[in-house]
A and B are shown apart, each in its own frame.
Chain A
Amino acid sequence: MAILGFVILFGGTFYGLLKMKKRKSPESKDPS
């Protein structure tokens, strides 16, 4: 279960980070 927990929770985090990188983020611009 420990390995499964690590894989899902840390894997989920890195999956999200990869998706973040994929998108040219508008948040990185400062319109002000």
Chain B
Amino acid sequence: MDRERWDKRSAFIMAAIGSAIGLGNVWRFPYVAYANGGGAFLIPYIIALITTGIPLVALEYYLGIRYQRGPTEAYGFMRKKSNYIGWFALCVAGMITFYYTVVMAWTWSYMLYSVGVQWAGVEKEFFFRKVLGLSGNISELGGLQWPLVLGNFLTWLAIFLILFKGVKVIGKVVNWTVGLPWLLLAILAIRGMTLNGSASGLDFYLRPDFSRLLDPNVWLAAYGQIFFSLSLGFGIMIAYASYLPRDSDINTNAWVVSFSDSATSFFAGFAVFSTLGYLAMATNQPLDKVVGAGPALAFIIYPTAIAKLPGGVFVQSIFGIMFFSMLLALGIDSAFSLIEAVVTGLRDSFKIKRERALFWVCLVGFSVGFLYTSRAGLFWLDIVDHWMNWGLVIVGLLEAILVGWLYEINRVSADIDSTSEIKLGKFWVFCVKILTPLVLSVTIGLSIYKEILNPYGEYPTWALMVGGWILLMTLFFLSILLQEREYLPTMTNRSLIVSGWLIIYVGTILSFYLFYYATMRLWASLLLPASIVAGTLIINAIRRKGLQDG
């Protein structure tokens, strides 16, 4: 069967840009820049864009274009028994989408509440009490917030309808979901910059503090921002590129997508900080008291500024609707690109129809959303989000090691350059083989160190284990089982092999518990290698026996 194709190159480019540009461009980049040296942050940021962003995007395009398959198969084609990287990427992508759609459900609600600016004067209470109905603690689920369930349903319905007919429809939809946010962002930026106090806001955003460039954390923040913003590690870029012909231009596509994503982030900072400058002036507070990031920026701080815009309730309502429409459009193409990656992976690996794979993924996604639309939803979302970000970095590291150290990277480089207008040559080899693994290893190491010093959030241990370590390890082992499913049915003593995997799985989780939360680090340090060695010995012994019997 012929593989689906994008209608034209621009459709692919727009879809990839739409996937990369998401909520993070508006609610994360401006704050990260402000907190890490202001204008001076642009230096490490642009260096990170050129040395990690573009090379890794090019690598993921290469995998899709070269093997004409989604992530689950492409890694396996490159090197036998590497499919688990693709499966893990898809598991993480799925898990992230399951709560990302709920954030979009908040946005649907806020679009309605924009009529009459219903949050005016009580922004914080409005978000936590009325919209989220937040309970006292994480174990108190306290029933569902039905408007959010409805918003989540609408989001999944939109994803289903957009992906149902494949990439040709995606190519048409992204013209709107990319074009509209750009237009609205421009309107919000122009309005923001014409408000009183905007200059001081922009000064806060861009005033360079070059001394911060000596701080390694600033450089890691720049690399982290690039990595998370470009939709890397999800398998999205592999899936989208797998619908391009084999002789497609890889580097130029990667260049355009990566630069336009960063340019959008930079521009979004003008819309955000000019308005924050106005808010600081209108509320007579210093700017650092009104600055924020993430959901707090989108659902509390920015709405506060909207409620204080001159022109009365009508004008404020219009700007509220514009802002939340922009967030919806920004989010929807990122959400459906994540699900497209999962659907492409399932289709390629299980040889099932798009419609069938899509239906089940949407149904599971909507069902998992009940947890996040409960009154403890925000707590669970926060924990899962924290650990899934680790998952992405692990995928990025594994893919860089696979291509850089376990495969003929020079051949890949020559292949990529042979069809590309922009040549990256040895520079690309250095970035993928040396620089990216180094940066991502340091990032993971530092995250582990921070976790040891200070466990994430003020959550009970069982919740951190369930929503964090157990979930992450379960996804990883599920990925290995999905890879091994091809070999398992042909083996004798299958149950013993699975027992070997279970020993490693349980031993690893128990080690994490002892290490992080029971502070029995010596026991944890013994248990982890012991369970890995024991499990591996059992698996290999059974395999050898199976081979001899065979």
Interface positions of A (Cβ within 8 A of B): 1-2, 4-6, 8-10, 12-13, 15-17, 19-20, 22-23, 25-32
Contacts and interface: CB of A to CB of B under 8 A. Distances in A.
B249 A12 contact: no
A1 B46 CA distance: 12
A20 B42 contact: no
B12 interface: yes
A5 to B, nearest CB: 5
Instruction: Output the residue of A5, A23, A27 with the most chain B CB within 10 A.
Output: A27
B428 to A, nearest CB: 16
Q: Binding site of A, secondary structure by majority: helix, strand, loop or mixed?
A: helix
Contacts of B244: 27
Contacts of B2: 31-32
5 contacts: A9-B263, A19-B422, A20-B13, A27-B8, A32-B5
* B3, B6, B12, B260: residue with the most chain A Cβ atoms closer than 10 Å: B260
A28 B262 CA distance: 25
A26 to B, nearest CB: 5
B421 A12 contact: no
Given A5-B42, A19-B255, A12 B263 contact: yes
Interface residues of B, number: 34
B421 A19 contact: yes
A20 B256 contact: yes
Contact of A32 (B4, B8, B206, B259): B4
B9 interface: yes
A9 B262 contact: yes
A22 B422 CA distance: 11
A20 B256 CA distance: 9
Given A12-B263, A29-B245, A4 B256 contact: no
Contact of A5 (B5, B6, B253, B266): B266
A31 to B, nearest CB: 6
Contacts of A20: 9, 13, 249, 252-253, 256, 421
A27 B245 contact: yes
Contact of B266 (A6, A22, A26, A27): A6
A3 to B, nearest CB: 10
B12 A12 contact: no
Contacts of B266: 5-6, 9
B252 A12 contact: no
B240 to A, nearest CB: 12
A-B pairs, top 9 by smallest CB distance, nearest first, are A1-B39, A27-B9, A16-B256, A9-B263, A12-B259, A16-B255, A13-B259, A19-B421, A23-B421
B52 to A, nearest CB: 15
Nearest to A23: B421
Contacts, number: 83
A22 B260 CA distance: 19
A12 B39 contact: no
A27 B259 contact: no
Interface in B236-257: 244-245, 247-249, 252-253, 255-256
Nearest to B265: A9
B7 interface: yes
Contact of A31 (B5, B38, B252): B5
Nearest to B202: A2
A13 B260 contact: yes
B208 interface: yes
A13 B9 CA distance: 16
A27 B42 contact: no
A29 B9 CA distance: 8
Contacts of A26: 245, 247-249
A26 B253 CA distance: 13
Contact of A8 (B9, B46, B422): B46
Contact of A1 (B208, B245, B248, B421): B208
Given A27-B9, A27-B249, A32-B2, A16 B208 contact: no
Interface string B1-36: 011111111001100000000000000000000000
B330 interface: no
A23 B244 CA distance: 16
B40 interface: yes
Contact of A22 (B9, B208, B259, B421): B421
Nearest to A10: B263
Contacts of A23: 249, 252, 421
Contacts of A28: 8-9
A23 to B, nearest CB: 5
B5 A16 contact: no
Contact of B6 (A6, A9, A12, A27): A27
A22 B206 CA distance: 35
A2 B8 CA distance: 34
Interface in B196-246: 202, 206, 208, 244-245
Contacts of B252: 16, 19-20, 23
Of A10, A25, A32, which is in contact with the most chain B CB atoms at under 10 Å from its CB?
A: A25
A2 B266 CA distance: 9
A10 B265 CA distance: 11
B9 A4 contact: no
Contacts of A29: 245
Contacts of B39: 1-2, 5
Contacts of B263: 9-10, 12-13
Contact of A25 (B5, B46, B206, B249): B249
